[in-house]
Amino acid sequence: MNDYIEARFSLSPCTETHTDILASLLADEGFESFVPDSEGLTAYIKKEDYDPERVKQVIVDFPMEADFSYSFKIVEGRDWNAEWEKNYFKPIVIDDLCVIHSTFHRDIPECRYDIVIDPKMAFGTGHHATTSLMLRRLLSMELSGLKVVDMGTGTGILAILAAMRGAASIDAIEIDEFAYTNAIENVRLNEAQNISLHLGDASTLATIRDIDLFIANINRNIITADLPAYVDTLSPGATMLLSGFYEEDVPVIMKTAEILGLKYVDHTTVQDRWTSLRLVFQP
């Protein structure tokens, strides 16, 4: 089953800050995709994960002054590739080094790294700020020979780029079965030979050790809850790249990270305050 709930939030006043904060709060409740506009936000969540009471609480607790109207409808399972082609997913080029496109695209720019993603409803096409931030991180690093974990792999896009850039092995983990199946398809499309895909949550990390690079593009609450399991996989001196949260969330994450031996290196931020955080493990 891949039915979704389409939730529509209209806000007054409605600014980019309003919709960014609302998207962040809804992401913590399991919403996966967001389409902001001048009057509000449309958000998508799997039907089985939808809890109307928790959504109402998000509205009640919203930290900015705004008048809300809210409605939702069921979106029945469909060919999500066609929906992305028609409405959202266009080829994207990252720093003139990497092009991300789907099998249905034509006239694709030539780049050193050519990644094919048929996203269906899984998160991670490079268009969201957090994905592009993480792609830029991977493009700027030396990955040859590294053992990598990609936690919450989504479409598999970060794992695929790591493989293309010479990582020795990548364990890519996804909790959602539909996204996991999609990641398998995308790994196959890109002929990536050194990616091991796992269906599960942070408990899947129990048998994974001696990791050189740990990637997690999820959200603040999940990251802070699962950081101990992440750290247990790391070799001394390993790098951790985290995203899926705002710049103001960095101190919250660091409070947990420092206790576990993770040291702050830097963070990069885009206009909408989405951030990627780089840490090093120094036990």
> pLDDT tens across 203-212, in order?
999 999 999 9
Average pLDDT (109-117) is 91
Answer yes or no: is pLDDT of 120 > 80: no
Q: What is the pLDDT of residue 78?
A: 62
pTM: 0.73
More confident residue, 188 or 35: 188
Q: What is the pLDDT of residue 88?
A: 53
Lowest-confidence segment of 15-19, 90-94, 120-124, 214-218 by average pLDDT: 120-124
**Cα(130)–Cα(5) distance, rounded to whole angstroms?**
23
More confident residue, 20 or 57: 57
Q: What is the pLDDT of residue 102?
A: 79
Q: What is the pLDDT of residue 127?
A: 60
Answer yes or no: is pLDDT of 263 > 90: yes
Beta bridge partners of 119: none
User: Residue 129 — left, alpha, or beta (φ > 0 → left; ψ -120 to 50 → alpha)?
Assistant: alpha
Q: What is the pLDDT of residue 122?
A: 47
Q: What is the pLDDT of residue 229?
A: 98
The mean of the pLDDT values for the chain is: 88
DSSP 1-26: ---EEEEEEEEES--HHHHHHHHHHH
Residues 199 and 174 sit within 8 Å (Cβ to Cβ)? yes
Answer yes or no: is pLDDT of 87 > 60: no
**Cα(208)–Cα(222) distance, rounded to whole angstroms?**
19
Q: What is the pLDDT of residue 82?
A: 59
